[in-house]
A and B are shown apart, each in its own frame.
Chain A
Amino acid sequence: MKQLRRNFLKLSGGAGAMAAVAAAGLLKAGSAWAAPWNKGAFESKAVADAQKNLGATSLIESKDIIITAPDIAENGATVPVAVTSKIPNTQSISIIAENNPFPLAATFEIMAGGEGYVSTRIKMGKTSDVRAIVKADGKFYTATKEVKVTVGGCG
């Protein structure tokens, strides 16, 4: 039921998306169902708005969230960031680069069978705190790590 609704939302996302969905056979049983893209959160320019759009009205600081990232990024275009959440029943992990024009970089919904761990690479325009927001049992937890970004080359 829920899946059907999601699929409907996806289909209503425009003719292009619809054609792609149909061509890819997304309607078949057992294929991948994607949650609708959180436009509000991703298009927020302020960190607070992005948080609100993620549904995180209050944040609890947690030492059970570990952000692995370099202290200094040699290349702001490829900053490796891994987030491990040891909080039981972790449902989602979001990564925010606070000084980016659009701070929210990614949201990972973790289903049963997934571990509270994601690793990816993000673009950072300048030195910034990288914030992880973890949703677990309906509550929102957070941790930050500063990543210094320098311009590369001798240009």
Chain B
Amino acid sequence: MKKMRGIGLVVLSAVAFLAVAPPVMAQGDLSVGRKMLNEDNPGDLWVDIGKELFYQKRGPKKVSLEQCDFGMGPGNLPGAAARMPRYFADTDRVEDMESRLITCMTKLQGFDSNELMKKAISSPRSKGSDIEALALYVTSRSNGMKINVTLSHQKEYDAYKAGEYIFYRRNGQTDFGCVQCHGEPDKRIRLQDLLHMTVKAGAQEVASTWPAYRGAHYVVRTMQWRLNDCVWQMRLPDLKYGTDYSIALTTFLNHRGNDAVMQVPGFKR
């Protein structure tokens, strides 16, 4: 230990370091911070909020969501999210977590679906939306279980193939499809890592980490938000909530992400 003459010395050495630092070196330098953020994820705070919302009697019909069937029978949550999106006979449609929640909140609780969708994606720095918290809670009940999105109903096959088609479909001012950013390993937009989704490991990360806490927004986000933001960056118009487009893309990615172990909330920059 030696006495320091002042801050100037430290600043000088920092400048010297900058001058010799290699230009770009993302992965290694970022991993320390990512590990620290992942270990203690504020998104965990929303699991309990979602749980409370799930069991509360809510909506015009004043009932809880305990009778909501996520594919494993009414109220049977463990493992249900790991198998979604999937076909639901009551709506004769393939649904993902967000669209299924809207179905149940509309049919069972009597909420207005347009109102729900309007509020589904919360403002950054807010307390988050009900659907964000509920989606996290229900998905967290599959934590530790393997993703197992099976294709058996014809509509599931259709969703998968349509999702694949959309993944590669180039459009808009940027000429982008999803694959332009997510088709190669170790790519970044500026410093932000892009998952390599055309290989299993990348698809597995998608399938097992949403809903996630979005650090820059301080709220929990669902996959639907991720897709909205992607198409915004692609310069496409406003993506509607819970459409077959999103469900198809999610079916495509989650099916390819099978066998990943669910661990939500994820932590995203």
Chain A contacts to B: CB under 8 angstroms: 47-48, 58-64, 68-75, 77-80, 82, 98, 119, 121, 129, 141-142, 144, 146, 150, 152-154
Among B4, B14, B26, B36, the residue within 8 A (CB) of A72 is B26
A153-B192 in contact (CB<8A): yes
| B192 pairs with A74, CB closer than 8 A | yes
Ranked nearest first, the 8 interchain pairs of A and B with the lowest CB-CB distance are: A70-B33, A80-B36, A71-B29, A74-B269, A78-B215, A61-B4, A72-B29, A75-B215
| B1→A60 contact, CB < 8 A | yes
Chain A residues positioned under 8 Å from B32 (CB to CB): 68-71
- Given A60-B1, A80-B33, A150-B191, 17 extra CB contacts under 8 A: A59-B4, A61-B4, A69-B33, A70-B33, A71-B32, A72-B29, A73-B33, A74-B191, A74-B192, A77-B218, A78-B37, A82-B36, A119-B40, A121-B37, A129-B10, A144-B10, A152-B216
Residues from chain A with Cβ under 8 Å of B1 in the complex:
60-64, 141
B192 touches A152 (CB 8 A): yes
Query: Is B89 interfacial (CB 8 A cutoff)?
Result: no
Name the interface residues of B1-15: CB closer than 8 Å to any CB of A: 1-4, 7, 10-11, 14
Which residues of B, 182-220, contact A by the 8 Å Cβ criterion?
189-192, 215-216, 218
The digit string for B22-54, where 1 denotes a CB below 8 A from any CB of A, is: 000010011011101100100000000000000
Q: Establish whether residues B269 and A75, one from each chain, have CB atoms under 8 Å apart when the complex forms.
A: yes
Q: How far is the CA of A80 from the CA of B40 in the complex (A)?
A: 10
**B31 to chain A: closest CB distance in Å?**
8
Q: Name which residue of chain B comes closest to A47, CB basis.
A: B7
| Nearest CB of chain B from residue A151's CB, rounded to whole Å | 8
Expressed in whole angstroms, the minimum distance between the Cβ of A33 and any Cβ of chain B is 27
Contact (Cβ within 8 A) B215 A58: no
In the complex formed, the residue of B with least CB distance to A146 is B14
Given contacts A78-B37, A98-B7, are A150 and B30 in contact (CB under 8 A)? no
Rounded to whole angstroms, the CA-CA distance of A102 and B108 in the bound complex is 51
What residues of chain A lie closer than 8 Å to B33, measured between beta carbons? 69-70, 72-74, 79-80
- Please, how many angstroms separate the alpha-carbon atoms of A70 and B33 in the complex? 5
* Subset of 20 A-B contacts with CB under 8 Å: A58-B3, A60-B4, A61-B1, A61-B4, A62-B1, A64-B1, A69-B33, A72-B30, A73-B33, A74-B30, A74-B192, A74-B269, A77-B218, A98-B7, A119-B36, A129-B7, A129-B11, A152-B216, A154-B190, A154-B233
Taking the closest CB of chain B, its distance from the CB of A127, in whole angstroms, is: 9
Q: Is the CB of B216 within 8 A of A77?
A: yes
Q: Name the CB-closest residue of A to B217.
A: A77
Q: Specify which chain B residues have a CB less than 8 angstroms from the CB of A119 in the assembled complex.
A: 36, 40
Q: Are B3 and A60 in contact (CB under 8 A)?
A: yes
Residues of A within 8 A of B17 (CB): 146
Are A152 and B269 closer than 8 Å at their CB atoms?
yes
Q: In whole angstroms, how far apart are the Cα atoms of A48 and B8 in the complex? A: 12
Q: Quote the shortest CB–CB distance from A51 to chain B (angstroms).
A: 9
A98 to B7, CA, bound (A): 10
Interchain nearest-CB distance for B246 vs A (Å): 21
Partner of B14, one of A59, A60, A74, A129: A129
Residue of A nearest to B267 (CB): A78
- B residues within 8 A CB of A68? 32, 36
